Structure 1
Amino acid sequence: MARKDGGTRENSAYPFSSGGWGSLKAVAGALAKGKVPLRQSAVLMKQNKPDGFACVSCSWAKPADPHTFEFCESGAKATAWDLTAKRMTPQFFELHTVTELCAWHDHDLEDAGRLTAPLRYDAAIDKYVSVSWDEAFEDIGRELSGLDPKRVVFYTSGRASLETSYMYQLFARMYGTNNLPDSSNMCHESTSVGLKAAIGVGVGTITLDDFEKTDLMFFLGQNVGTNSPRMLHQLQEARKRGVPIITFNPLREPGLIKFANPQSPVEMMTPANTLISTQYHQVKTGGDTAAMLGICKAVIGADDRAKASGAPRVLDTAFIEGHTTGLEAFADYVRAASWDDIERVAGLPRADLEAAADEYMRANAVMAHYGMGITQHRQGVQNVRMLCNLLFLRGNIGKPGAGPSPVRGHSNVQGQRTVGITEKPELAPLDKLASQFGFEPPREKGMNTVEAFEAMVDGKVSAVVNLGGNLVRSVPDRLRIEPAWRGLKLTVNIATKLNRSHLVHGEKSYILPCLSRIEIDEQASGAQAVSMEDSTGCIHGSRGVAEPASPDARSEPYIVAELAKHTLGARSTVNWDRWRNDYALVRDEIAKTYPETFHDFNARMWTPGGFPRNLPARERKWRTKSGKAEFFVPETIGEDPDMPERDPQSLRLMTLRSDSQFNTTIYSLDDRFRGIHGDRMVIFICQDDMKRHGLKEDDVITLQTIADDGFQRRVSGLRIRPYDIPQGCIGGYYPECNPLLPLWHYAKESKVPGAKSIPVHIVEVNGVPRER
């Protein structure tokens, strides 16, 4: 049943509010652990400020009128991680072979400190050795020039600035490829596909101002307490105005239950806190479409009754008739849906879904926040379309206080798409780039992340240029991918710290140390600034304030410019040296390519709160096939097509992040919100499933993926932890559980890996095989 008090249950791992003293203690611990000097830690006061730097962690919006401390626990940890006094000098690599470093834990690799000099892998001694920048650029350019561009992949993590991303996509296209996969392919591509089909833009439509005008919020599959904690300030203010928040999430997460504001003396000195979720529904993993279908069924049923009795309509008929298409087909599907099927698949009783619908029908302006709990499913795109259906019913888009709100992870993962990072040629302004820079861009589709690794396994990729991130660790089917990665001719890694992707190297491999966004970036024309786009589609400037970790580190724009110059040579029509020396020139070119959003870019980039991206759907202008917002009839009620039907031994595994983690970066082996200390090889499971499978706490199990493709996927050494999670569903940490995720288990249409619903069996308990 739904919990309407928002409180924790007796067996909750973390019975306290998110935020509060626990958050402050964690921030202090992160600064101490990284040996961050006092003068460096003071840069936190510039984090997410209009005259400072944008957080290198999440992409939540930056307010025009910031708090004194406009950073959260997660953001402070990310900053401390970059500002660490620890260094990985060339002398460090003289002492350690790559084979030895491969045995280190991922946390220990990054915790060893910042990279300080360019490095090249020497196979004769199995070590990375120091090289000059000129030598690295010349050799990489020579290698790339000799390869077929269609066999080279240019990957981008979500931290790269707008300037870097624009330069990077232009380099790749001048080189001759649209192979521009990025971290969006792994997370919110289902959003990009689903929202674009439904409303004509592939991003959310809300801004921070909408929080002051909303009178109801939904949360679906997004853990605000660990993934975007600064958002808790807006949620707290809305709750104090009496705005209900209805949460759908399989696990009970403290950040979605109650919050103690570390900036409030009253809440820090007393037991005071703010109740976040007024209804908390623990939907089964994979049951999101069913849950939303249940709410829609209740709403449409109420409207049918109102229409029959002559009462005021429940649906926003003016919006639907003037702005949408496809309602009748969707409404017929909803009316025919069985409550028994909805309850079974969602794992929620009808009364709970009707309670959510009752709140929805009372509200006039509704926002729907969601994360990868919606997108990382085989039916991820369908989940996004169903969410749009729900909003359309009562006109909750294109008006103040309402709209879809996909909460992005990486700090500029949305922005890099805005300036051309995409494998889909129809989404890039190729004709404009052709006329602007005098070259013919490739027109065939490039590879997304999953397709790049499928091609790599098939021996059809020769090289990867990896702009940030830890790609080898983040992808599915790691035990199949690593051998393929080792077979590459060339791997180039632009990074601040050492990670697993650098150690699972190609035949020739380089590590190029870059500046963090937090650091001062001095070029020939003076100190430089960059820009990024937040989750609400607002563009912000960012200026580094800390001393660089090494005088030999280079900025990302500098590195991209030099790689382009040395690879393209006389073929290039761009003066890369000028761009490298003055990023304002890059912004001028972005403004020419995308004038609707980026006109007067240099003049507007320091606007407090950012300047908004051009999003027609905010004004109820629909760039869809029909020219209207489009209702969608689901293909299925939402069960995973790869999940065995009615198999009592099967379990649905969802991968999770901890409170001490950002994507593949692990700041600590603790997860205080879930009561885990010093270990990440953990499986969360409910008491009923423990009894059903004959398990007890601290049993050590082996999980195996249910698949018939001839490849055995197993992860061993997973310790059982009882947790409040729906029956038949289990949770385990990412990326430790990635070997269980098949490369082919992805969302239809978007190819986002289905990491939130992996079908598995328990095949071993405490070293003893299980008979099936």
Structure 2
Amino acid sequence: MDKERKNEAYPYSSGGWGSLKAVAKILSQEKVTLKDSTVLLRQNKPDGFMCVSCSWAKPADPHTFEFCESGAKATAWDTTAKRVTHDFFAVHPVSELLRWHDHDLEEAGRLTEPLRYDAATDRYVPVSWQAAFDEIGRELNGMDPDRVVFYTSGRASLETSYMLQLYARMYGTNNLPDSSNMCHESTSVGLKEAIGVGVGTIMLDDFEKTDLMFFFGQNVGTNSPRMLHPLQDARKRGVPIVTFNPLREPGLISFTNPQSPVQMLSPTETQISTQYHQVKTGGDTAAILGLCKVVIAADDAAVAAGGPRVLDDTFIREHTLGFEDFADFARQAEWTDIERVSGLSRADIERAADEYIKANAVIIHYGMGLTQHRMGVQNVRMLCNFLLLRGNIGKPGAGPSPVRGHSNVQGQRTVGITEKPELAPLDKLAQQFSFEPPRKKGMNIVEAFEAMVEGEVSAVLNLGGNLVRSVPDRLQTEPAWSRLRLTVNVATKLNRSHLVHGAVSYILPCLSRIEIDRQASGDQAVSMEDSTGCMHGSHGVTEPASTDVRSEPFIVAGIAKATLAGRSTVDWDAWRDDYSRVRAAIAETYPEIFHDFEARMWTPGGFVRPLPARERKWQTKSGKAEFMVPQSLGEDPDMMERQPGALRLMTLRTDSQFNTTIYNLDDRFRGIKGSRMVILMNRADMESHSLQEGDEVTLQTIADDGIQRRVEGLRIVPYDIPPGCIAGYYPECNPLLPLWHYAKESKVPGAKSIPVRVVEQRR
């Protein structure tokens, strides 16, 4: 293995000088001037813009620098001085661009004008906005609405999302998949079943009231670094943090605050995790069951001795259903099975459970390490079981905390982006806009691509995102995408989905949220919801990348008007010119959440979405919070992974990446330089497979569907990961993930647990 790719363990805490250097590097890389870099001071501020990266909560009293390394990279990426004009495509045909690395495509710069694919020259060529809208409308009007998919990425604002879902339903379909289908749909399903709401219940002030925090499968250091500030404050108060995660991640170990001169100019750092348990990939249900088993056993012993209860018996009796069945299951579970499946010792699980028993208020943070599994919904339900045992939902300082990715992925669901008609206020929309919405269930992401492979999808309107790269089974789905009649991509930068085009294909460049949005009625603002259910206003502060770039609401309104014409009662031009009219419509549809929307959207810290579970009001089928008995301890009981040499692959992101956007090829925290084609492997597994550091291998998925899924050219890097588990990067490893390998009930792709084997190796 060459020196450039050699793995070196990251010896420092997260944050600190490493973070500052990374920010300085990307500002220089994107040619962001010193004057333009001051835009970072307006990030996540009431008088500025909400970060286009993660959706972590924005405080009412923000820091001077209320942005993290990841957020700064996202802002630099959008405010780059680099441009992609029609001259770029005159030099580079699509067939050539298809050979470019994903990083290089986005690195080329901001898109500046609407473009249409020209098959005769194999190039994208300029087109007027109206001509684009008119042809897209004609194409859609010649199609069965149920064969058209309207995808929304989490960067879309509340206003844009509401407009898109209304347009799609007026057009005649509920095919409204979104990025939540790829990550936290297991949360939406699991929490809804358990406590009656599909989102987390904690808020920022709960950090000040909690006695204990757990982390399960969420890498705060790279996915939501701003969260490290309240974590650091909690640790200073003596709050323990217990982590369950397969890899030892620097952000979950220690943190040096870049805003603290004392920490920056001394060896001082804050220990984040007080316990760190490296659970096997897919072993989360077993680990949580072990925790519950300890707590229930302690309560049984207390009852037998006549001592004070360990369980919150009053809460369980008054507020829950199904406790006895679950408790019996936990009592009968064998420790040998729990240890084997979780990869943890009984002593370590008991040590973590002891902290839980001592605490009065407990928060559990989790991410895609729990949700992107075949049993992802069960994992979420098991967390709820654990919290319910001691009444840790619906009281200050306690509750489930799913840490969302994209900045408005939660909010777009709140305003109607869903393929499930029962979750949308269809009767209200019908009355409000005088039309009959479709009642047939739409397609989620997996279902849309399954239909695409079968030739049952004609068009995709892709509002942000890079679907061709982000979905599983790329070697099956990418050819299906290219067979589409129509592909429409609304984006700020060039990506793979634009190049694997349909017969008719458009790239429509949109404003970034960071840019000033000037419409006929004046400068416009938009809004979004953060992970804690708070709504925030946001307005741009920099000049647009081009005079020919348009806002997302402008583009949705233009396509809707061209498609629906006289069939719509909406004045799309008025909505395009003044987004306050859209917010008024949102408030009429959802008065409980968005009453006085215009006045409240600039509330410092955001205005709060009502969540009944916060008040111990359970909107479940039974009217109570519900315990669940798990179906199995292990992950993927129906997969063929017991074959000799089988390994369980989990996909990862780096500190230089946001979803499919790759800022550079390094992974600072894991010591990887110059390449993303690597596999992190335990040394014991390397020895059993006769592998050495730097060996190049081919991985193949273990499946019996007759399709051979392989990724070649992956170099072995020894790493501290549980035996039998390996890790590789997303989206490079996506071809190994079968489209049908998804979470039961939620259909979230099982990217954190893919059974594979090494089939070739080379030194």
Q: Do both proteins adopt the same fold according to a TM-score greater than 0.5, normalized to the shorter chain?
A: yes
1:539 is matched with which residue? 535
2:64 to 56, 68, 71: 68
2:313 to 317, 327, 339: 317
Native 8 Å contact 1:222 1:407 kept in 2: yes
User: In structure 1, what is the Cα distance between the partners aligned to 2:188 and 2:685?
Assistant: 36
1:360 to 356, 360, 375: 356
2:234 to 199, 223, 238: 238
**How far 1:583 moved relative to its partner?**
0.3
1:273 is matched with which residue? 269
**How far 1:643 moved relative to its partner?**
3.9
1:327 is matched with which residue? 323
SS at match of 2:225: coil
1:98 to 72, 77, 94: 94
Tell whether 2:257 aligns with 1:293.
no
Counterparts of residues 413-562 of structure 1 (less than 5 Å): 413-562=409-558
1:770 is matched with which residue? none
**How far 1:645 moved relative to its partner?**
5.5
**How far 1:318 moved relative to its partner?**
1.2
Tell whether 2:78 aligns with 1:82.
yes
2:4 is matched with which residue? none
User: In structure 1, what is the Cα distance between the partners aligned to 2:136 and 2:63?
Assistant: 45
**How far 1:12 moved relative to its partner?**
6.9
1:567 is matched with which residue? 563
2:760 to 743, 753, 764: 764
Deviations 1:347-375 (A, max 9, x none): 00000000000000000000000000000
SS at match of 1:491: strand
User: In structure 2, what is the Cα distance between the partners aligned to 1:291 and 1:234?
Assistant: 26
Native 8 Å contact 2:149 2:461 kept in 1: yes
Tell whether 2:626 aligns with 1:630.
yes
Paired letter, 1:239? R
Deviations 1:50-85 (A, max 9, x none): 111000000000000000000000000000000000
2:110 is matched with which residue? 114
2:170 is matched with which residue? 174
Paired letter, 1:126? D
Paired letter, 2:310? V
User: In structure 2, what is the Cα distance between the partners aligned to 1:676 and 1:471?
Assistant: 26
2:708 is matched with which residue? 712
2:593 is matched with which residue? 597
**How far 1:37 moved relative to its partner?**
1.7
Counterparts of residues 671-682 of structure 1 (less than 5 Å): 671-682=667-678
Tell whether 2:646 aligns with 1:650.
yes
2:188 is matched with which residue? 192
Tell whether 2:606 aligns with 1:610.
yes
2:304 is matched with which residue? 308
Native 8 Å contact 1:642 1:759 kept in 2: no
Paired letter, 1:326? G
User: In structure 2, what is the Cα distance between the partners aligned to 1:695 and 1:146?
Assistant: 56
- Structure 1 residue ranges, 4+ long, deviating more than 6 angstroms after superposition: none
**How far 1:44 moved relative to its partner?**
0.3
Deviations 1:677-714 (A, max 9, x none): 11000000011111111100000000000011011000
User: In structure 2, what is the Cα distance between the partners aligned to 1:176 and 1:340?
Assistant: 54
2:253 to 257, 279, 284: 257
Paired letter, 1:573? T
User: In structure 2, what is the Cα distance between the partners aligned to 1:519 and 1:40?
Assistant: 12
Tell whether 2:10 aligns with 1:14.
yes
* Count of aligned positions: 757
Deviations 1:320-367 (A, max 9, x none): 111001000000000010000000000000000000000000000000
**Distance 1:203-1:12 versus aligned 2 partners, 3 A rule:** farther
User: In structure 2, what is the Cα distance between the partners aligned to 1:642 and 1:548?
Assistant: 51
- Compute the TM-score of the two structures, normalised by the length of structure 1: 0.98
1:380 is matched with which residue? 376
Structure 2 segments unaligned to the other structure (5+ residues): 1-6
SS at match of 2:462: strand
2:208 is matched with which residue? 212
Native 8 Å contact 1:12 1:723 kept in 2: no
User: In structure 1, what is the Cα distance between the partners aligned to 2:138 and 2:505?
Assistant: 13
1:670 to 655, 666, 673: 666
**How far 1:108 moved relative to its partner?**
0.1
Paired letter, 1:489? R
Tell whether 2:734 aligns with 1:738.
yes
Paired letter, 2:442? G
User: In structure 1, what is the Cα distance between the partners aligned to 2:346 and 2:663?
Assistant: 41
Native 8 Å contact 1:540 1:606 kept in 2: yes
Native 8 Å contact 1:17 1:257 kept in 2: yes
2:343 is matched with which residue? 347
Tell whether 2:390 aligns with 1:394.
yes
1:160 is matched with which residue? 156
Native 8 Å contact 2:641 2:702 kept in 1: no
User: In structure 2, what is the Cα distance between the partners aligned to 1:59 and 1:308?
Assistant: 47
User: In structure 2, what is the Cα distance between the partners aligned to 1:568 and 1:664?
Assistant: 33
User: In structure 1, what is the Cα distance between the partners aligned to 2:230 and 2:683?
Assistant: 35
**How far 1:614 moved relative to its partner?**
1.2
Native 8 Å contact 1:216 1:245 kept in 2: yes
User: In structure 2, what is the Cα distance between the partners aligned to 1:588 and 1:570?
Assistant: 22
User: In structure 1, what is the Cα distance between the partners aligned to 2:358 and 2:285?
Assistant: 22
Native 8 Å contact 1:604 1:611 kept in 2: yes
1:5 is matched with which residue? none
User: In structure 1, what is the Cα distance between the partners aligned to 2:407 and 2:111?
Assistant: 21
- Compute the TM-score of the two structures, normalised by the length of structure 2: 0.99
Tell whether 2:117 aligns with 1:136.
no
2:3 is matched with which residue? none
SS at match of 2:637: coil
1:660 is matched with which residue? 656
Deviations 1:372-410 (A, max 9, x none): 000000000000000000000000010000000000000
Native 8 Å contact 2:641 2:755 kept in 1: no
User: In structure 2, what is the Cα distance between the partners aligned to 1:544 and 1:390?
Assistant: 43
Q: CA RMSD in A?
A: 0.8
1:27 is matched with which residue? 23
User: In structure 1, what is the Cα distance between the partners aligned to 2:467 and 2:635?
Assistant: 29
Native 8 Å contact 1:12 1:724 kept in 2: no
Paired letter, 2:33? P
Native 8 Å contact 1:520 1:548 kept in 2: yes
Paired letter, 1:513? P
Native 8 Å contact 2:711 2:736 kept in 1: yes
Paired letter, 2:52? V
User: In structure 2, what is the Cα distance between the partners aligned to 1:551 and 1:20?
Assistant: 39
**How far 1:644 moved relative to its partner?**
3.4
User: In structure 2, what is the Cα distance between the partners aligned to 1:659 and 1:639?
Assistant: 27
**Distance 1:12-1:107 versus aligned 2 partners, 3 A rule:** closer
SS at match of 1:510: strand
**Distance 1:445-1:527 versus aligned 2 partners, 3 A rule:** same
User: In structure 2, what is the Cα distance between the partners aligned to 1:698 and 1:162?
Assistant: 47
SS at match of 1:286: coil
1:588 to 584, 598, 609: 584
**How far 1:198 moved relative to its partner?**
0.2
**How far 1:647 moved relative to its partner?**
3.2
User: In structure 2, what is the Cα distance between the partners aligned to 1:644 and 1:489?
Assistant: 37
User: In structure 2, what is the Cα distance between the partners aligned to 1:482 and 1:290?
Assistant: 36
